[in-house]
């Protein structure tokens, strides 16, 4: 379908598609098997200037909007969700700086991110604070000209691979939701270390680790925005980032459909290609309809977010929940269409199905997205 992309947007798609077809798809099985971080591929994305897409022009980027980054992530998701997750989490890590950082902070970090020299990650989750982020225990206390951080973050994407970490910590517990603040912690800061790298069901090319802060001292000016505005910036960050997760969902679903159709055309049973059976055709038709409707929702939500940055929440939650549910269903159905072969590692759809599951969990589970949509509806209807 024609989504009326601009010339620049089509160019972004073409570059991301080329990297996906030539670099990601040929290496995804090996990256998955070895749990290997795709450093080389990310370097090539940087050389193609894709890290600059959402970075403002005055800080060395292209000043692209939500739709521009969605288009890159859709392609990377089609290739490998592990690689796509690493790319997406980099921006999750730097959106707080773009949203709330001072000009000096932006000058310090964003040009390096745009050029791919430094890489980002985002640390909110803790062992006892997942969906309910208000339960975080990590603290930051001002001591002279330095903040001192103590606590442990869990399951942080790009942990150990990134150089710039946006970390949420409690600065004044008595102030409830206004008691959290965001900080930039850099790789190598004293008192900052990484825990074990998690073993996962899917997205194995992405790194997931603990971040450990033991009297971690950082300069005073690493506070992002004002003290006490941490959760507000976190919410804006997630609103901006979730359409990218939705786009990863559209991408992996498209990749699975491509595989399933190709297979159904060449697999013969009962003397004919299985695509000749109506039951198989209907499954493929439902997959195609799901993908196209998810894509339409993700693109229009991203465009809406670009044009109405103060009204992101509902559109963002809707496209994240819908497109990632579609991704789970389509990848599962692709395995079904391919029967036993679909279950084997020889074909890519088993990996796509394993990978797709995370999309319904991270950046807020799809139950939480539905809560958000419900709350927004409740506010809209008087």
Ligand X SMILES: Cc1cc2nc3c(=O)[nH]c(=O)nc-3n(C[C@H](O)[C@H](O)[C@H](O)COP(=O)(O)OP(=O)(O)OC[C@H]3O[C@@H](n4cnc5c(N)ncnc54)[C@H](O)[C@@H]3O)c2cc1C
Length of the chain: 382
Which DSSP string corresponds to 117-184?
SS-EEEE--BTTBSS-GGG---EEEEETTEEEEEEEEEEEETTTT-SEEEEEEES-GGGGGGGEEEEE
Distance CA 151, CA 377 (A): 36
- Least Å distance between CB 277 and ligand X? 36
Does 130 contact ligand X by CB under 6 A? Answer: yes
Cβ distance to ligand X smaller for residue 20 or 138: 138
| 3-class secondary structure, 345 | coil
Q: x/- binding map, residues 205-244, to ligand X, per CB under 6 A? A: ---x------------------------------------
- Least Å distance between CB 21 and ligand X? 26
Q: Which residues are known catalytic residues?
A: 363
Does 367 contact ligand X by CB under 6 A? Answer: yes
In this chain, which stretch among 23-31, 75-83, 270-278, 363-371 interacts with ligand X, using CB under 6 A?
A: 363-371
- Least Å distance between CB 179 and ligand X? 18
Sorted by sequence, the CB contacts under 8 Å of residue 302 that are 6+ apart come out as: 65, 66, 67, 70, 243, 247, 319
**Contact yes or no for 122/96 (Cβ under 8 A):** yes
Cβ distance to ligand X smaller for residue 210 or 350: 210
Which of 10, 40, 131, 268 touches ligand X by CB under 6 A?
131
Does 122 contact ligand X by CB under 6 A? Answer: yes
Q: Is 158 left (phi over 0), alpha (psi -120 to 50) or beta?
A: left
Distance CA 264, CA 259 (A): 9
Which of 125, 139, 209, 237 touches ligand X by CB under 6 A?
125
Q: x/- binding map, residues 68-97, to ligand X, per CB under 6 A? A: ---------------------x--------
| 3-class secondary structure, 195 | strand
Distance CA 42, CA 278 (A): 42
Residue of closest CB approach to ligand X: 130
Distance CA 178, CA 168 (A): 12
| 3-class secondary structure, 102 | coil
Does 364 contact ligand X by CB under 6 A? Answer: yes
The dihedral through the CA atoms of 210, 213, 218, 221 has a sign that is positive
- Count the site residues for ligand X by CB under 6 A: 21
In this chain, which stretch among 2-10, 30-38, 343-351, 365-373 interacts with ligand X, using CB under 6 A?
A: 365-373
In this chain, which stretch among 4-12, 217-225, 300-308, 367-375 interacts with ligand X, using CB under 6 A?
A: 367-375
Which of 5, 13, 276, 361 touches ligand X by CB under 6 A?
361
Cβ distance to ligand X smaller for residue 9 or 157: 157
Cβ distance to ligand X smaller for residue 211 or 256: 211
Q: Would you tell me the crossing angle of helices 39-47 and 81-100 to the nearest 10 degrees? A: 60
Distance CA 108, CA 316 (A): 29
Residues that bind ligand X (CB under 6 A): 89, 122-125, 130-131, 155-157, 200, 208, 358, 361-365, 367-368, 371
């Amino acid at each position: 379908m024609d989504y009326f992309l601009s010339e620049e947007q089509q160019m972004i798609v073409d570059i991301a598609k080329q990297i996906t077809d030539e670099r990601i798809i040929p290496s995804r099985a090996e990256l998955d098997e070895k749990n290997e971080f795709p450093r080389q591929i990310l370097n090539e994305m940087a050389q193609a200037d894709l890290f600059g897409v959402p970075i403002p022009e005055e800080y060395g980027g292209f000043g692209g909007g939500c739709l521009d980054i969605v288009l890159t992530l859709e392609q990377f998701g089609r290739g490998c969700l592990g690689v796509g997750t690493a790319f997406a989490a980099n921006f999750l890590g730097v959106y707080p700086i773009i949203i709330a950082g001072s000009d000096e902070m932006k000058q310090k970090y964003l040009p390096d991110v745009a050029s791919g020299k430094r890489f980002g990650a985002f640390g909110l989750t803790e062992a006892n604070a997942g969906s309910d982020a208000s339960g975080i225990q990590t603290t930051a206390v001002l001591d002279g000209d330095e903040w001192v951080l103590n606590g442990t973050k869990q399951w942080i994407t790009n942990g150990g691979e990134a150089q710039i970490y946006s970390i949420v910590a409690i600065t004044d517990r008595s102030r409830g939701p206004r008691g959290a603040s965001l900080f930039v912690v850099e790789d190598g800061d004293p008192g900052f270390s990484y825990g074990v790298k998690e073993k996962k069901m899917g997205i194995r090319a992405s790194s997931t680790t603990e971040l450990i802060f033991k009297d971690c001292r950082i300069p005073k000016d690493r506070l992002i925005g004002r003290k006490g505005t941490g959760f507000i910036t976190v919410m804006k960050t997630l609103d901006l980032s979730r359409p990218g997760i939705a786009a990863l969902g559209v991408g992996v679903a498209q990749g699975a459909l491509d595989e399933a159709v190709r297979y159904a055309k060449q697999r013969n049973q009962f003397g004919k290609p299985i695509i000749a059976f109506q039951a198989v055709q209907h499954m493929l038709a439902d997959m195609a309809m799901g993908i196209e409707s998810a894509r339409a929702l993700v693109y229009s939500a991203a465009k809406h977010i670009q044009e109405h940055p103060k009204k992101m929440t509902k559109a963002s939650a809707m496209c994240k929940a819908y497109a990632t549910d579609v991704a789970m269903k389509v990848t599962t159905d692709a395995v079904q269409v391919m029967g036993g072969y679909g279950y084997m590692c020889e074909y890519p759809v088993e990996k796509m199905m394993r990978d797709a599951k995370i999309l319904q969990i991270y950046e807020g589970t799809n139950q939480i997205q539905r809560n958000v949509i419900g709350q927004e509806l409740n506010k809209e209807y008087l």
